[in-house]
Amino acid sequence: MEAFLHQVFSGLANGAIYASLALALVMIYQSTHHINFAQGELAMFSTYLAWAMINAGISYWMAFALTVIASFFIGLTIERVIVRRVADAPILTLVVVFIALLVILNSITGWIFTYTIKVFPSPFPEQPLFGPYISSHEAGVVGVSLVVLLLLFLFFRYTSLGLAMRATAENAVSSRLAGIRVGWMLALGWGLAASIGAIAGMMVAPIVYLDPNMMAGILLYGIAAALMGGIDSPFGAVVGGLIVGVLENLMGAYVVGTELKLTVALMLIIGVLIFKPTGLFGRHFVTRV
Amino acid sequence: MPLLEVSGLTGGYGMTDILHDVSFSVEQGGITTILGANGAGKTSVLRALCGMLRVSDGSMQFAEQKLNGRATESIVRLGIGHVPDGRGTFLNLTTEENLRVGAMTRKDKPGIAQDFDRVYGYFPRLKERRHQQAGTLSGGEQQMLAIARALMLRPRLLLLDEPSFGLAPLVVQDIFRIMRTINDEQKVAILLVEQNASLALELANLAYLLETGKVVMSGPARELREAESVRRSYLGY
């Protein structure tokens, strides 16, 4: 029982990270119908920035904040400079651009920071503070993710800018006709997604260690989570993330063994796409003719 | 000097021109209607004004500003409210959020609050449903919401694309009555594109008849209403 509970809790902690990444994917998908395959590598690059700052003697939370801000501008710039130019191109062009971004970010990071695996610090204490089933870092990850979620919810629900971004995601033409600068809203979406990804990266790095390939698996889990929840539903992304996290851990511990954990995620992706493409909370698109 | 002056407008999608040498104007505080059958190019005229159609020739002048080559967002910010075909409702947002989106470009909070009251005054049904998701509104209510959303911009010119489309006759009459009120009270000029010629000609002071992308007849609405050919083809008597 104890082992089981431990698996569930650490699954929730992993799930919170997948949920964050899924949320970043959904944010871009909602407004552009692009799945940003480079989301994970972007997060990885941000985490290296944080590592460099911490190594330079900046305190953890200061580095955390600076990384979130820097990532925002990196995401924004990538949208403005690269993605915008191919936004109307055929889907295959976009996929190639996103995969190219993924490889470029990966190799640039490797070139700057080398491929040696590094230890990334956790801001949370070593000794478990919340009982025997969950480590402080895991509890901290869940806490940080909840704060991020809450902030995003408040932003989208109660601010004008949040409303403008929601409007843009739903109907870009109508938003233009209301005078909203749609291009900037899309860029902001990229910035926010990159910030959320950066947080996910910094939270997962103490668990998986820092190396340029650290996000490859995490991104797959994130995509599985987003698809499971319904690729256009932010709420679904969060629920999907938690389900994938727990399921992955339990399957790994009791059914398929740890080597096949990632396979579980891939099977989930294929299963959802075949049997329920809209996911748990996705919208069915009905058009009245 | 008219508020909107379009002359020699030619343009279309891709390589094909849909509009050919189209000229018309909307007076300050006036109502102009463009009539025509399905596919005559009425919607394309409105799209051209809002920078959503390739314009290859001609000029569009709004309140001494050239519209040619401007981005949609910038044209709208000059004070042109566009109620597009299909209404462009944000179905997942509430009625009130739809209206807030309409006022997105404005900063004057008291003015916005005033306009909320004003549009709720015109459309009391929207007030009743202000916390409801817009997707759950009826077709007529969504049309009202689309007009209200455009009004939240405090436009000087309102572009209306077939507001009567798909609505019950009583609802259509209601909407046309409110458009008259809006025009009277707020001095908002209106460019109305319609298939329902009799209602449109009653409302408008200037009228243009569009056929396959060309203006084939124009003049005071009164005169077009009495013209033999318009009566037979568009008014049905």
Question: CA–CA distance from B178 to each of B63, B146, B174 (Å)?
Answer: 25, 13, 6
Mean pLDDT, chain B, whole residue set: 92
Q: What is the mean pLDDT of residues B124-141?
A: 93
C-beta atoms of B73 and A174 within 8 A: no
Nearest CA to CA, how far is A193 from chain B (Å)? 22
Per-residue pLDDT of A164-190, as tens digits, reads 999 999 999 999 999 999 999 999 999
Nearest CA to CA, how far is B176 from chain A (Å)? 22
A42-51, A62-71, A260-269, B144-153, range with the lowest pLDDT = A260-269
pLDDT value at position A276?
A: 87
The answer to whether residue A285 scores a pLDDT higher than 60 is: no
Q: Which chain B residue has its CA at the smallest distance from A170's CA? A: B90
Full 3-state SS string of B127-185? HHCCCCEHHHCCHHHHHHHHHHHHHCCCCCEEEEECCCCCCCHHHHHHHHHHHHHHHHH
Nearest CA to CA, how far is B152 from chain A (Å)? 9
Under 8 Å between Cβ of A238 and A23 = yes
> Would you place residue A2 in the very low, low, confident or very high pLDDT band (cuts 50, 70, 90)?
confident
**Predicted structure pTM score:** 0.89
> Would you place residue A103 in the very low, low, confident or very high pLDDT band (cuts 50, 70, 90)?
very high
> Would you place residue A1 in the very low, low, confident or very high pLDDT band (cuts 50, 70, 90)?
confident
Q: What is the mean pLDDT of residues A152-162?
A: 93
The percentage of residues in chain A with a pLDDT greater than 70, rounded to a whole number, is 98
Nearest CA to CA, how far is B228 from chain A (Å)? 35
Partner residue facing A163 (CB), from B88, B100, B105:
B100
> Would you place residue B237 in the very low, low, confident or very high pLDDT band (cuts 50, 70, 90)?
low
Instruction: Look at residue B206 and give its three-state secondary structure.
Output: strand
Helices (H) then strands (E): counts for chain A:
12, 0
Partner residue facing B73 (CB), from A167, A170, A176:
A176
The ipTM, to two decimals, is 0.91
pLDDT value at position B34?
A: 95
The answer to whether residue A288 scores a pLDDT higher than 50 is: no
What's the half-sphere exposure (Cβ side, CA atoms, 13 Å) at B149?
Answer: 35
Within a 10 A sphere around the Cβ of A44, how many other Cβ atoms?
28
User: Looking at residue A80, what DSSP letter applies?
Assistant: I
The percentage of residues in chain B with a pLDDT greater than 90, rounded to a whole number, is 77
Within a 10 A sphere around the Cβ of A58, how many other Cβ atoms?
16
pLDDT value at position B215?
A: 92
Choose, out of A166, A174, A287, the residue to mutate when testing the contact with B (most B CBs < 10 Å). Answer: A174
User: A36: part of which helix (H) or strand (E)?
Assistant: none
C-beta atoms of B104 and A173 within 8 A: no
C-beta atoms of A178 and B52 within 8 A: no
Nearest CA to CA, how far is A34 from chain B (Å)? 20
Partner residue facing A160 (CB), from B84, B91, B104:
B104
A281-285, B70-74, B87-91, range with the lowest pLDDT = A281-285
Chain A interface includes B84 (CB < 8 A): yes
User: Looking at residue A260, what DSSP letter applies?
Assistant: G
Per-residue pLDDT of B74-96, as tens digits, reads 999 999 999 998 889 999 999 99
> Would you place residue A282 in the very low, low, confident or very high pLDDT band (cuts 50, 70, 90)?
confident
Distance CA B137, CA B123 (A): 13
> Would you place residue A289 in the very low, low, confident or very high pLDDT band (cuts 50, 70, 90)?
very low
Q: Which of residues A51 and A1 earns the better pLDDT score? A: A51
- B76 contacts on A by Cβ (under 8 Å): 176-179
The answer to whether residue B134 scores a pLDDT higher than 60 is: yes
pLDDT value at position A158?
A: 93
Q: What is the mean pLDDT of residues A86-112?
A: 93
> Would you place residue B173 in the very low, low, confident or very high pLDDT band (cuts 50, 70, 90)?
very high
Per-residue pLDDT of B17-42, as tens digits, reads 999 999 999 999 999 999 988 888 99
The percentage of residues in chain B with a pLDDT greater than 70, rounded to a whole number, is 99
The answer to whether residue A287 scores a pLDDT higher than 70 is: no
pLDDT value at position A286?
A: 45
C-beta atoms of A177 and B77 within 8 A: no
Chain A interface includes B136 (CB < 8 A): no
The answer to whether residue B190 scores a pLDDT higher than 50 is: yes
Q: What is the mean pLDDT of residues A149-174?
A: 93
Residues of chain B numbered 24-83 and touching chain A (CB < 8 Å)? 50, 52, 72-73, 76-77, 81-82
pLDDT value at position B39?
A: 85
Q: What is the mean pLDDT of residues B171-191?
A: 92
> Would you place residue A220 in the very low, low, confident or very high pLDDT band (cuts 50, 70, 90)?
very high
